[in-house]
Amino acid sequence: MKNVKLSKLWDSLHSSYWFIPTLMAVGSMILAIVMLTIDRTGNTPNWRWIYTGGADGARSVLSSVAGSMVSVVATAFSITIVALQLASSNFGPRLLRNFMQDTGNQIVLGTFIATFIYCLLVLRTIHGEGEGYSLFVPQLSVTVGTGLAIASIGVLIYFIHHASTIIQASHVITQVSGDLDKALDRLFPGKIGEGKANNSRQVGEIPANFDSEASPIKATGEGYLQAIDDDELMKIARQYNVLVRLTTRPGKFIVKGSDLAMVFPEKQVNQSLKQQINDAFILGKERTEYQDVEFPIDQLVEIALRAISPAINDPFTAIRCIDRLSAGLSRLAQRDFPSPYRYDDEQNLRVIVE
């Protein structure tokens, strides 16, 4: 797997409610600067739909748009929080991450915030006659602000529909099932280095004194093991000419000081090697499906168990989960499980995975 750390960084950003709205807010600032620059050059096109009113009218339009955006943002945040609360109570707290990753909600919030910021930036540049400044009414900028307000109305309509859709059990189950399918396609088969065509000598290539003379690598951090940087681990094993056997896998909770791997021979182990191996293990506050195929399976099981609990008593939702689980497990049964023995380009055994 390539660029594991970059993929995990993107996954973390994608799971936050601030990243996309921040990008859209910065984009609105750039748009405001560009539009105001065009207005100041006097190259505004003479189109019929361009704003042609005075300074007071421009202020009124932009003030109305900016004020309405504040109210809409507050409403959108309230609806989002209610949706998250419903998801947590009905489907389990581990499903909140799926809602946090919803790009539609992030774009909706970003659109409202970007429109508000754009109107504020343009509003401060409008000057009428007798105000101590030269007359300046950015007609094109005001027109773009009006266009953003119209677009925001369309986004609001989409948001109302989207917010009522994403909390439906069928949508949630389908989304989790999609995560399971993606994890299966990504992880099976998985490779670290290149495997030999003839695997009859694999066990014999492990040193007989490996268990007694291998040095354990202790974890310096604590949290759920979200991913292992396969390429980096192979690079480390080749650099130090060692054999590494992992003692854990993604999805497990790592306690500080517990064993991450065993390295042979012990004489090659130093502080730098220990730190590099620790850096190849990516820890986080919660499990993810990136390298943990069990996680979406556990999510479907949790939804099903909550559905048949006496408090909810919804057997049809449980049946849907069973249907999706059967489809996912059937796909998994047809996949070739990768060998635990991983080889470098020179066909030397370097890593043994769990």
Question: Do 80 and 21 lie in a common domain?
Answer: yes
| Mean pLDDT, residues 198-222 taken together | 75
Can you give the pLDDT at residue 132? Answer: 60
For residue 345, name the pLDDT band (cuts at 50, 70, 90): confident
Q: Is the same domain home to 207 and 246?
A: yes
Q: What is the CATH number of the domain that holds 224?
A: 3.90.1170.30
Please report the beta strands in 6-153, taking only residues with DSSP state E, as ranges in sequence order: none
**In this model, does residue 201 exceed pLDDT 70?**
no
CA separation, residue 198 to residues 2, 188, 195, 201 (Å): 26, 20, 9, 7
- Considering the domain architecture, whether residues 125 and 237 belong to the same structural domain is answered as no
> Is residue 12 included in any domain, yes or no?
no
Co-location of 219 and 323 in the same domain: no
Structural domain contains residue 75 = yes
Assess contact for 254 and 229: CB atoms under 8 A: no
Express each pLDDT in 62-91 by its tens digit: 999 999 999 998 888 888 888 778 777 778
Which one-letter amino acid corresponds to residue 174?
T
Query: How do beta strands 349-352 and 243-246 pair?
Result: parallel
Specify whether 158 is located in the same domain as 276: no
pLDDT tens-digit map of 305-323: 999 988 888 899 999 999 9
Domain that holds residue 152: 17-167
Using only C-alpha atoms, the chain has a radius of gyration, in whole angstroms, of: 28
Give the chain's domain count: 3
Torsion of CA 77, 90, 300, 15, to 10 degrees: 20
pLDDT at 17 over 90: no
In 10 A of CB 125, how many CB atoms? Answer: 16
Q: Which residues are within 8 A (CB) of 125 and not within 5 positions of it... i.e. 6 or more apart?
A: 36, 136, 138, 141
Do 143 and 252 fall into the same domain?
no
Q: What is the pLDDT of residues 111-134, one digit of tens each?
A: 999 999 999 999 999 887 766 667
Residues 6+ apart with CB under 8 A from 174: 324
- Average pLDDT of the chain? 85
